[in-house]
Amino acid sequence: MNKFCIFCGKKPRNKNNEHVIPKWLIELTGDPNRVVYFGPIFNEKTMSLETREFAFDQFQFPSCESCNHKYSELEINAKSTIQRLINNEALSSADFMILFDWLDKVRVGLWLAYNYLSKNISEVDPNYHIANRIGNSDRAIFIYKSDSVQSGINFAGVNVPAFQYYPICFNLRINQYCLFNLSTDFVISKHLGLPYSDESYYTDGQSIKYVLTEGKNRILPPIVRAAYDKKCTEIYQPIFPHYEGKERIGHLYNTDHVRSLSQDHEKGVGKILVSEKNKIVEYPLMESKAWIPKNVWKMPDLMRMIAKQVFEFQIYYLNRGPSYAEVSAEKKNLIKEQYFLAKKVNKLFIKIADEE
């Protein structure tokens, strides 16, 4: 594989290395010199799990100096937010904007990292970099709290082919909290009453074509219809599409309902929303403890539940992928084959979690 900048995708200029998992997070979650375990990696060629360990310092990837610099402010802000989160302190809607951006960065960073580590066994085109994936699509975080007094960091869902094909969902555990993160185009729009897409097509290029439908102009929870454990706090942020050109879709977004859920209507940035009993309301602008889940899980129960939930979500969204109507038979067969395998691997992991 050619070396590319993890942020912009180009040949790195004044090459620098970016830690996908930042140093400050390693420090917040235990001994900074420990070996962090990033496996197992699934080898599709041999259909087996390969266990590989990496010291945190090995888990870094090429970037341009300027790209690296550009995201250092996000890292500084994210560190402050995560520190307050693990200390159970009040957070504002601006803090959640930062957390969402940072989780986008980590999710795509992990996607590229595993692409490197597995030597791109999935043959995915890594034409999908951090810079154009931050704040570009609908996003959600389900926050689960545990009783754990032990610090630590874990991931779920990032080392499987399903994540390589469709990096929509993963879990990041930071000390006592699990952040279950979901993000892709239109993933929360329909049940927030916004314009949505129930019809999409693969194209012969990289992009997916979406057909948009007028929104229902009212919020109809649950916002996410894949099955999930509700003993959490749900945080949402709709992001309206802008890559297709405002002129073409603009009129669908010109409603009072869309405006009522907009933080910046012009830029297509939605408000931060939070679940409150069975309702979805705007998250307070001022610092608030509205995000702290009422339920406290036993850590082993939470880890088992959440691993299964990540794998099940990945299967759910692979099953609801775009239509093949506009691509060649060759591409259709390739995608079908890949998804079949990806689902098989996830089912294997679900079975392992069930047996634990």
Radius of gyration of the chain from its Cα atoms, rounded to whole angstroms: 20
Which structure tokens are listed for 228? 């999930």
Asked whether position 258 contacts Zn ion by CB under 5 A, the answer is no
Amino acid at 76: I
* CA dist., res. 83 & res. 257, Å (int): 35
Whole-number minimum distance, CB 1 to Zn ion, in Å?
16
* CA dist., res. 121 & res. 114, Å (int): 10
Whole-number minimum distance, CB 105 to Zn ion, in Å?
13
Exposure string of 332-342, with b = 16+ CB inside 10 Å and e = fewer, is eeebeebbebb
Which of the stretches 4-12, 142-150, 271-279, 335-343 binds Zn ion when contact is defined by CB under 5 A? 4-12
x/- mask, Zn ion, residues 80-119, rule CB under 5 A, reads ----------------------------------------
Whole-number minimum distance, CB 118 to Zn ion, in Å?
22
Asked whether position 71 contacts Zn ion by CB under 5 A, the answer is no
Exposure string of 147-178, with b = 16+ CB inside 10 Å and e = fewer, is ebeeeebebbbbbbbbbbbbbbbbbbbbbbbb
Taking CB under 5 A as the criterion, which residues in 180-199 touch Zn ion? none
Contact by Cβ (8 Å): 37, 53: yes
Whole-number minimum distance, CB 61 to Zn ion, in Å?
11
Taking CB under 5 A as the criterion, which residues in 268-297 touch Zn ion? none
Asked whether position 5 contacts Zn ion by CB under 5 A, the answer is yes
* CA dist., res. 313 & res. 346, Å (int): 10
Applying CB under 5 A, the site for Zn ion has a residue count of: 5
* CA dist., res. 215 & res. 251, Å (int): 11
Q: Which is nearer to Zn ion, 64 or 98 (CB)?
A: 64
Q: Which is nearer to Zn ion, 113 or 179 (CB)?
A: 113
Taking CB under 5 A as the criterion, which residues in 7-66 touch Zn ion? 7-8, 64
Q: Which is nearer to Zn ion, 5 or 212 (CB)?
A: 5
Taking CB under 5 A as the criterion, which residues in 116-145 touch Zn ion? none
Whole-number minimum distance, CB 121 to Zn ion, in Å?
25
Whole-number minimum distance, CB 90 to Zn ion, in Å?
36
Q: Which is nearer to Zn ion, 68 or 92 (CB)?
A: 68
* CA dist., res. 195 & res. 235, Å (int): 19
Whole-number minimum distance, CB 36 to Zn ion, in Å?
25
Among 41, 67, 82, 182, binds Zn ion (CB under 5 A): 67
Contact by Cβ (8 Å): 165, 150: no
Give the angle subtended at the CA of 7 by the CAs of 120 and 317, to the nearest 5°. Answer: 55
Taking each helix axis from N to C terminus, what angle separates 72-86 and 93-117, rounded to the nearest 10 degrees? 110
| Residues contacting 77, CB < 8 A, separation 6+ | 98, 102
Which of the stretches 6-14, 96-104, 263-271, 334-342 binds Zn ion when contact is defined by CB under 5 A? 6-14
Whole-number minimum distance, CB 322 to Zn ion, in Å?
29
Preceding amide of 300 cis, omega within 30 = no
Whole-number minimum distance, CB 296 to Zn ion, in Å?
42
Q: Which is nearer to Zn ion, 67 or 272 (CB)?
A: 67
**Binding positions for Zn ion, rule: CB under 5 A:** 5, 7-8, 64, 67
